Structures are given as C-alpha cells and as structure tokens.
Amino acid sequence: MAEDTAVDTRPTKIMYVAEATAHGGRDGHVTSQDGRLQLKVAMPPELGGDGNGTNPEQLFAAGYSSCFHNALILVGNRAGYDLTGSTVAAKVGIGPNRHRGYGLAVALSISLPVLDPQLAAELVDAAHEVCPYSNATRGNIEVTILLG
C-alpha cells in the first residue's frame, strides 16, 4: 500500500479572521466587516461585463501577490538576506473546466534583482511552502512561478 505523503497545511491555531460580504455577486459590491474594504465589483468586458469595478480575480491576484511576497521576505530574512527591491506580481486567469464549472490558473512573476538566480530560486521554493495562498491552492489550481 502506498504511503500518503501529502502534507497537512491546515492551521493549528487561527490567529486572525477576515470577514467580507458580497452583495449582488459579480455585479454588485463587497464590504469587509470592519468597513476598511468597500469596493464595487463588475464583470470584466472579456466575460461580458462593463468592467466598471474590480473583480474577484483582481482581488485574488492582489491577495496572492502580497501574501507570497511577504512569505518571500520572511524566508529571505530568516536566511539573512535583504530583499529590498523585490516584487511579486500575480496574474489570475479564469475559464471553464471539464466539469461544467470554472477554474483558475495563476502565474506569479517574481523579481529578486540583488540575488543570484540559484539562491533566488531556493528562496522562492521555500516561500511557496510557507505562503498560505500557495498552501491553499496546491493541487487545486495550476500555479506557474516565473523568476526573472
């Protein structure tokens, strides 16, 4: 019998909970419980909307890129490296899947201009193991990492 080598990435302790409510789906607005987030959402023109608002894919890209960048800074600092000037950009694509639903694909473009490519790749791999977004999406959606 094959041994299950999956890593359990569930939190052992919840340290913070974010809460947001959607009103009107993709053509409405979203608000956070604390009022700090209040955004109009709209379907992008590519999906038949007017594009007069943000959309869930942009919000996911913003969350994933900032979270991954923080994980990268964390592992870099732990290893003694200053990652000033580094950036992480996320592209989130949406399209139909084989099960009559929709799926996402993510491309993370990472710039670590002050590090040699081998060291940069090692830190990116370590950040990919630490980042909560990476852990939540692993095995569920395609995540491509581009280091340059």
For 66-120, the three-class secondary structure string (H helix, E strand, C coil) is: HHHHHHHHHHHHHCCCCCCCCEEEEEEEEEECCCCCEEEEEEEEEECCCCCHHHH
pLDDT at position 142, please? 94
Sequence-separated (6 or more) residues with CB below 8 Å from residue 137: 64, 106, 143
- The model's pTM: 0.92
Helix (H) or strand (E) holding 125: helix 117-130
Q: State in words which class domain 55-147 has.
A: alpha beta
Looking at CATH, the fold of the domain delimited by 1-54 is given as N-terminal domain of TfIIb (2.20.25)
Q: With cut-offs at 50, 70 and 90, classify the pLDDT of residue 145.
A: very high
On the question of pLDDT at 2 being above 60, the answer is: no
On the question of pLDDT at 45 being above 90, the answer is: yes
On the question of pLDDT at 23 being above 80, the answer is: yes
Lowest-confidence pick of 27-31, 70-74, 114-118: 114-118
Say how far residue 126 (Cα) sits from the centre of its chain. Answer: 15
pLDDT at position 31, please? 97
For 45-54, what is the mean pLDDT?
95
For 83-100, what is the mean pLDDT?
95
Q: Where are the domains of the chain?
A: 1-54, 55-147
CA distance 115 to 132: 24
pLDDT at position 52, please? 96
pLDDT at position 5, please? 60
Pairing assessment for the beta strands 142-147 and 102-111 based on DSSP bridges: parallel
